[in-house]
Structure 1
Amino acid sequence: MTLLLVLVGGALGALARHEATTRTRERGATAAGATMAVNLLGSLVLGLVAGAVQSGAPDWLLPLLGVGFCGAFTTFSSHAVEVAAAIQEQRARHALADLGLSLVLGVALAALGWWIAA
């Protein structure tokens, strides 16, 4: 059953990522900006799911939404490639800012979500 929950959540997360990235890019965001926006939203959602499960929500929400949806919705690999590209293009300040913002804001949003839902 857990495998099926992860599978369904992952399919929905991948579709949501495509839509969110496409719409964010249509509004003028760069690829790195779209990735950051999606990853930060995913951090908030994961925090909400973790907090809800900790507070008594059904355990099946974690594999469906936490692992499946958020796992497919967010991406570390795209972020890593964008940071590496910035470094290769000699935009080290951009790369460091991207890394710092992603880490600080991602953790802050996950904590906020957890706090809201718990």
Structure 2
Amino acid sequence: MILIGIGGFLGALTRFYLGKWIVHTYPWTTFFINITGSFALGVLFALHLSDWLWHFIGIGFLGAYTTFSTFGFESLQLVEQKKWSHAIIYMSSSILLGILCATLGFYMV
């Protein structure tokens, strides 16, 4: 449990500072973070690392680094702003590319 907490702390910090470093073009910062996190999780899963590394990196770090709640909130904001095409592109590309990147990461290993 401690490893998940430490990993989560580090993942949240990485997400925060990476989000500040990336040119903030709403909502594409979250998109980039979630896609890279999906890829990393696919790689990690394929490596079949020990349980403690899975808990630390997979559940802790990558769980905090990526964020479904922000994705949902930003999707809702786009809908409320009646930016229909942006919302559809953001939601569909996030889901499809997230799965594709996780698969790609898995098979690259």
In structure 2, stretches of 5+ residues that fail to align are none
Instruction: Describe the superposition over 1:11-32 as per-residue Cα deviations: whole angstroms up to 9, x where unpaired.
Output: 110111011111113xxx3130
> What is the CA RMSD across the aligned residues, in angstroms?
1.0
Alignment equivalent of 1:47, drawn from 42, 45, 61: 42
- Listed as ranges, the matches of 1:1-118 within 5 Å are 3-25=1-23, 29-53=24-48, 57-117=49-109
Ranges of 4+ aligned residues in structure 1 off by more than 3 Å: none
- 8 Å CA contact 1:49–1:61 kept in 2: the answer is no
Partners in 2 of 1:49 and 1:62 — Cα distance?
A: 8
**Whole-Å Cα distance in 1 between the matches of residues 55 and 26 of structure 2?**
28
The percentage of aligned residue pairs carrying the same residue is: 33
Deviations along 1:15-53, one digit per CA (max 9) or x if unpaired, are 11011111113xxx3130100000101101111111111
Distance 1:112 1:42 in 2: 12
Q: With the length of structure 2 as denominator, give the TM-score of the two structures.
A: 0.95
Q: Write the deviation string for residues 51-71 of structure 1: whole angstroms up to 9, x where unpaired.
A: 111xxx322221111100011
* Unaligned residue ranges in structure 1 (runs of 5+): none
> Structure 1 length normalisation: TM-score?
0.88
